[in-house]
Every structure is written in structure tokens, then in C-alpha cells.
Amino acid sequence: MLRFVVRRLLLLAPIVLGLSILVFLWIRALPGGPAEALLGERATQARIADVRHRYGLDKPLPVQYWAYLRTTLSGDLGQSIASRRSVTSEIAQRFPATIELALAAMIFAIGIGLPLGFLAAKWYGSWFDHLSLVGSLLGISIPIFFLAVILKYVFSVKLGLLPSIGQISVLIDLKHPTNFYLLDAVIEWDWSAFWDVLKHLILPAIALGSIPLAIVMRITRAAVLDVQNEDYVRTARAKGLSPLVVDSRHVLRNAMLPISTIIGLQTGLLLSGAVLTETVFQYPGIGSWITNAIFNRDYPVIQGGILFLAVVFVLVNLLVDISYAILNPRIRYGR
């Protein structure tokens, strides 16, 4: 197990290096630049040249990349051209919001998708099974941004039940020792702030978790259908074990391997979906931060943010691989 983990961590270095080169070349191939974005359309050539020289953007691309690589390897992701703040400090401030949103979306997806997929498999061929398949197709087909706009219109504009933008009401003064707003509200024993943060989280979590919910439901249904006709399941039923014991110990546990794989992949992909969700709901996470950086041609933020998300994605998949041995002790990691 230890050898497997070390090998995966060593593979992380070339992956991040290759991604850094691609991102570096991609953003510099875009029209315009940070100087034009900061100074506006009426900026003079002299001022543009001054800004480019100040940030080293007038140097050859290999020189720029080598300077960026050296600072990154030292643990410094650079300084935002727009805000003049450290990229690392902005990640530390914004990423907890994205984590809260992604966890809420996955709780919503797993909490509904797993039972629905299990029941659809148990009632295979029934009206419930057909209805769940239609619902999952709709969930996968509807774009996140479109669903987000519909949710805002129905629950915020028409019904007035939930807030439509932000992470917390501007009228609430809450200290943020961890930048996890729900956790901060618990630490401060401010339950009105906790409820307000939770209300701001509901609509973005539903929008972001809609596609993972549909995928988890379909994979659960397929996995349970494959497992429940295996010999060991029929043997357990022949021994007289209760249906609850058979379903929990023999069916669902063995079906969890493909389910855990898709949950891990979707958790990583939620970070990309968070860009659209956070933009629509003006949620102050890392997705909306990178979106603003793209519009501002803020090279250090784009490079640092994407590299950070890539590392998180690889680590999430590593945790999924390790979880296989916990779910199925028969799995052993060889050389």
C-alpha cells in the first residue's frame, strides 16, 4: 500500500509540470494581456509597455516560464496582477468556500442518488425504475448554468424562500478564523449566521450536484443489478439471512467499488463545475476567482489556481484508489 501511494505521489510531479506548461502557453496565446485588461482600451502604448516591463511580460517565453517555475517550486505561486495580493493567500481565503459547496453538492448527490439507484435496481422494470431513468437523463442533460438560473428564478425571485447570491448576508457580522463559514458559525456559537450560510448554500449545492446525482444513481442501479444475481448473494438468501442483512452486507458493499470510483471522479469534476455555479450565484469561491482572473488576463492567478485544482484532483483520485482496499479487503496493491 505504501509503495502504491508513494508511486502515485511521484507521478504527480510530471503531471503538474506538463499541465503548467500547457496553461502557461495557453493563456499567453489569448488575445490581449493583463496590461490591456488593467489599463483599459484607452491606455497608451507607453503605459502598456511600463506594466509589461514591471511584471516581466516583455521577456521571452522561456525566461518567463523559468522564472515562474522557480517561484512555484519555492512554494510561492506569485502575486495577483489585479489585486496585488499573494495567490497563495487568496487560495487560502477562497478555497474553503469551494470545499463547502462541493461537499454540500456531493452530500446532496449521494444522499439522494444512492438510495434512488438502489431502489430502482430492486424494483427493476417497474414504473419507479423507468421514472428514475428518465429523471437521470434529464439531470445529465440540463446544463448547470441553466438549472442554476431556473432555481434562482423559482426559489428566490418568485417564492422568495432562499437567497440568490453570495455566501452570507451582508447584515451578519461573523468572524472567520478558518474561512469555512459553517464551521466558523459553529465556533462562534452564532446559529443565526449558521442558518443564513446554510440557506445561501442550498441552491448552489443543488445546481452543482444535479449531474453527479444522476450519474451516481445510474451507476448504483447498474452495480446493484450486477451484484444481486451473484452466487454468494443467492447463497446468503438460501441460508435464511434477512433481506436487510443480504442487501447491506453482500449486495451494497460489493456494489460500492464502481460507485466509489464514480463518486471520486465526480468530486474532482465538481471543481470544474463550481466555476459556472459560483459565477451564476456570485459565490466567493475559487471558481469565480479564476473566472475573474481569465477576464482580467491575470496570469499568476490562472496558473496558480489551475495547478492547485489539478493537485487536488489527483489527490482525490488517490484517496479513491486507497478506499478500494477498505471496501474490498481482497484487493491488494502490487508493484
pLDDT in tens, 253-301: 777 777 877 877 777 777 766 778 888 888 888 888 888 888 777 778 8
Which helix H or strand E contains 21, and what residues bound it?
A: helix 2-29
> Do 73 and 82 form a contact (C-beta atoms < 8 A)?
no
CA distance linking residue 113 with residue 94, whole number of Å: 28
Going by pLDDT thresholds of 50, 70 and 90, the confidence category of residue 43 is: low
CA distance linking residue 116 with residue 222, whole number of Å: 12
In sequence order, the 6+-apart residues with CB closer than 8 A to the CB of 270 are 102, 105, 106, 208, 209, 212
CA distance linking residue 34 with residue 40, whole number of Å: 10
pLDDT score for 41: 64
* Sequence ranges of the domains in the chain: 2-73, 94-327
Angle at 115 between CA 113 and CA 119, to 5 degrees: 115
Amino acid at 299: Y
Percent of the chain with pLDDT strictly greater than 90: 2
Burial class (CB in 10 A: 0-12, 13-18, 19+), 87: buried
The model's pTM is 0.79
Residue with grid cell 459553529, as numbered in its chain: 186
Task: Average the pLDDT over 75-89 and give the result.
Answer: 81
> Do 156 and 204 form a contact (C-beta atoms < 8 A)?
no
Length of the chain: 335
Task: Average the pLDDT over 191-201 and give the result.
Answer: 89
pLDDT at 128 over 80: yes
pLDDT in tens, 163-176: 888 888 878 888 88
In sequence order, the 6+-apart residues with CB closer than 8 A to the CB of 291 are 275, 278, 279
CA distance linking residue 244 with residue 227, whole number of Å: 15
Is the CATH number of domain 94-327 3.90.1300.10? Answer: no
Name the CA dihedral angle for 175, 179, 180, 185, rounded to a multiple of 10 degrees. 0
> Do 219 and 259 form a contact (C-beta atoms < 8 A)?
yes
Going by pLDDT thresholds of 50, 70 and 90, the confidence category of residue 38 is: low
Task: Average the pLDDT over 82-105 and give the result.
Answer: 86
DSSP labels, 113-171: HHHHHHHHHHTTTSHHHHHHHHHHHHHHHS-HHHHHHHHIIIIIIIS--S--SSSS-TT
pLDDT at 108 over 80: yes
In 10 A of CB 242, how many CB atoms? 10
Mean pLDDT across the chain:
80
